[in-house]
Structure 1
Amino acid sequence: MTDQSLSKTPAIAEPRSTSMLSMLWRDKLAFCSAVVLLLIVLCALLGPALLGDLATSQNLRGRNSPPFDLARGWAFFLGGDSLGRPMLARLIVAARSTMMVAAGAVVAALAVGALLGLVAGYMGKTTSQVIMRLADVIMSFPSLLIAVVVLYVLGPSIPNMILVLAITRIPIYLRTTRAEVLEVRERMFVQAAVVMGASHWRIIARHILPVVAPTLVTIATLDFAFVMLAESSLSFLGIGIQPPDITWGLMVSQGRPYLTTAWWLALWPGVCIVITTLALNLLSNWMRIALDPAQRWRLEARSTKDE
């Protein structure tokens, strides 16, 4: 009797783990954003090698040629600039400098800010106060003003641009990391590691950092769009990247005098900036849920329901 009743008892379905790629595929907006960003990264990596000469070759007969005119070739599908250079090739080549500045600034700010935040959150009160006062000093000045002053003194270049943008973004990661560490260090698994005699750096690297990392990655994805917009603003003001290097912000600045006669000179790089920023914002919103164990079940349940 007992065996029969047990045999009729329905088996409890074990929860299935859903991969990140599967959850990304189910969220169409996030998936499209990831595809767009992948295409932009490929353009940044391969564009200068394939189209570098075409983007810099001048043809005064085709200056300010209108878009969607294939008579001059596929490279002039988006028109030509004031020196007859194809806009499509220049947009692809400019993606490299734009992505290089944004990625370099975000990675540098993330590394320095996370390290200082881990130390400030885990070590004693004196060390924390010194580090936080440093962050307050940086945040007391407007970031754009710091960038203008530093670039005016050091000169506009890609390394200087990365340096100044990274400095202005360090407090964001520092304060976020410190707040996370203050909460994580009181959990039971960290206290157990302390009791077992683990060193401070081992506890930080093996127990605290993996818990804090998803939050930092989400912030970095969102901050990438902000840094790219800041670089575009500085290039538009004329103190950012200078020719012969090109960025989307510099192209917008160069096309400003021709807004009434050749609107496409400023429109297409502006569209690239908007599309990239929008894709980063959508992807960061998805990553915020996917990397949070407390909210990831929403995406997993959606994936299981669709199957």
Structure 2
Amino acid sequence: MSQASLAKPPRSAEKSAAATVLSMLWRDKLAFVSVIVLLFVFLCALLGPALLGDLATDQNLRGRNSPPFDLSRGWAFVLGGDALGRPMLARLIYAARSTMLVAAGAVIASLIVGALFGLVAGYMGKTVSQVIMRLADVIMSFPSLLIAVVVLYVLGPSILNMILVLAITRIPIYLRTTRAEVLEVRERMFVQAAIVMGASHWRIIGRHILPQVAPTLITIATLDFAFVMLAESSLSFLGIGIQPPDVTWGLMVSQGRPYLGNAWWLAFWPGLCIVITTLALNLLSNWMRVALDPAQRWRLEARSTTDE
């Protein structure tokens, strides 16, 4: 057997691992439906603006506040029209891009920064750890809403500034979690063996510690994605978040608030999108918490074997 074949795992083993994950996901119907819902939302966010951008922005005052399920004005008005006669269905799909962009950008940025500082704080000496943790304490000492109001007031409301604000407020969560995980992992035998063999600090962190911490961070990021969505919606609802011509689900809820008495669908449909997407993320994070934990994964695998 050649050295290359030893270094690379057999393709059949990779397929078997993927099939096992898909089987565990299929057996948990709530998690499976959640994945389908999230894939649909991300597909709308990716393709929606290109396909329905003009339809979502063109105004038609004859169709303003059109009731839902009235197809006399076309299929696009199946969910009704807004105060400027724009179809709600196209607006919801169009707004998915900005909503997902803000949530994904904030989560990814806070995950990278928080995990990096958490790895350093957990692995390096006490002095470095204390400095980093005090910075996290400073961020956590300010209410996240106050930070958002100040930053957005100074820099102005925009998608980039919204990502910056939400990412700053979420960094301490990943930092503290990563540090706690590293403090436990670094005492394990394989890490001590790598230190004795003379491996560099960054090699130990990247090759031996990070893979052990990553499943926990991925699970938290999935759950945090839902929290960031709600935070963005709250800020947009208060009027200090995304501003027109950009549009998010939270901004649509805010714009539909004055019409709750005579056009409830203006706020109901974007609110329903927020609830469904957040619920799907929570259900998926619960499944990932078990699936990514080797100590608990056997529960899903055993369930799959029993059902078969």
Interval of TM-score (by shorter of Structure 1 and Structure 2): over 0.9
Counterpart mapping for 1:146-157 below 5 A: 146-157=147-158
Instruction: For 1:189 and 1:20, locate their aligned partners in 2 and report how far apart those are by CA, in whole Å.
Output: 27
Q: Match of 1:19, SS?
A: helix
1:5 maps to which residue?
A: none
**Letter matched to residue 200 of structure 2:** S
Instruction: For 2:257 and 2:269, locate their aligned partners in 1 and report how far apart those are by CA, in whole Å.
Output: 12
**Letter matched to residue 252 of structure 1:** V
Matched, 1:223 2:244: no
2:95 maps to which residue?
A: 94
**Letter matched to residue 233 of structure 1:** S
1:261 maps to which residue?
A: 262
2:57 maps to which residue?
A: 56
Q: How many residue pairs are counted as aligned between the two chains?
A: 292
2:160 maps to which residue?
A: 159
**Letter matched to residue 29 of structure 2:** K
Matched, 1:37 2:35: no
2:185 maps to which residue?
A: 184
**Letter matched to residue 112 of structure 2:** A
**Letter matched to residue 261 of structure 2:** T
Instruction: For 1:144 and 1:295, locate their aligned partners in 2 and report how far apart those are by CA, in whole Å.
Output: 37
**Letter matched to residue 108 of structure 1:** A
2:130 maps to which residue?
A: 129
In the TM superposition, what whole-angstrom CA distance separates every residue of 1:128-152 from its partner, at most 9, and x where no partner exists? 0000000000000111111111101
1:251 maps to which residue?
A: 252
The farther-off stretch of 139-148 and 93-102 is: 139-148
TM-score by length of 2: 0.94
Counterpart mapping for 1:1-307 below 5 A: 19-307=20-308
Which ranges in structure 1 are unaligned for 5 or more consecutive residues? 1-15
What is the CA distance between 1:40 and its match in structure 2?
Answer: 0.1
Instruction: For 1:218 and 1:89, locate their aligned partners in 2 and report how far apart those are by CA, in whole Å.
Output: 32
What is the CA distance between 1:59 and its match in structure 2?
Answer: 0.6
Instruction: For 1:151 and 1:229, locate their aligned partners in 2 and report how far apart those are by CA, in whole Å.
Output: 17
What is the CA distance between 1:200 and its match in structure 2?
Answer: 0.4
The farther-off stretch of 144-153 and 260-269 is: 144-153
Instruction: For 2:85 and 2:172, locate their aligned partners in 1 and report how far apart those are by CA, in whole Å.
Output: 44
Deviation beyond 6 Å, 4+ runs, structure 1: none
**Letter matched to residue 31 of structure 2:** A
What is the CA distance between 1:20 and its match in structure 2?
Answer: 1.0
Instruction: For 1:278 and 1:155, locate their aligned partners in 2 and report how far apart those are by CA, in whole Å.
Output: 31
Instruction: For 2:279 and 2:146, locate their aligned partners in 1 and report how far apart those are by CA, in whole Å.
Output: 26
TM-score by length of 1: 0.94
Instruction: For 2:166 and 2:174, locate their aligned partners in 1 and report how far apart those are by CA, in whole Å.
Output: 13
In the TM superposition, what whole-angstrom CA distance separates every residue of 1:235-268 from its partner, at most 9, and x where no partner exists? 0011111111100000000000000010000000
**Letter matched to residue 187 of structure 2:** E
In the TM superposition, what whole-angstrom CA distance separates every residue of 1:159-193 from its partner, at most 9, and x where no partner exists? 00000100000000000000000000000000000
Q: Percent identity?
A: 88
What is the CA distance between 1:226 and its match in structure 2?
Answer: 0.3
**Larger Rg computed on CA atoms:** 1
In the TM superposition, what whole-angstrom CA distance separates every residue of 1:30-61 from its partner, at most 9, and x where no partner exists? 00000000000000000000000000011101
Instruction: For 2:138 and 2:191, locate their aligned partners in 1 and report how far apart those are by CA, in whole Å.
Output: 32
Which ranges in structure 2 are unaligned for 5 or more consecutive residues? 1-15
**Letter matched to residue 198 of structure 1:** A
Q: Match of 2:263, SS?
A: coil
What is the CA distance between 1:21 and its match in structure 2?
Answer: 1.2
**Letter matched to residue 213 of structure 1:** A
Instruction: For 1:268 and 1:214, locate their aligned partners in 2 and report how far apart those are by CA, in whole Å.
Output: 34
Q: Match of 1:198, SS?
A: coil
Instruction: For 1:150 and 1:230, locate their aligned partners in 2 and report how far apart those are by CA, in whole Å.
Output: 15
What is the CA distance between 1:279 and its match in structure 2?
Answer: 0.2
**Letter matched to residue 266 of structure 2:** L
**Letter matched to residue 242 of structure 1:** Q
Instruction: For 2:146 and 2:231, locate their aligned partners in 1 and report how far apart those are by CA, in whole Å.
Output: 11
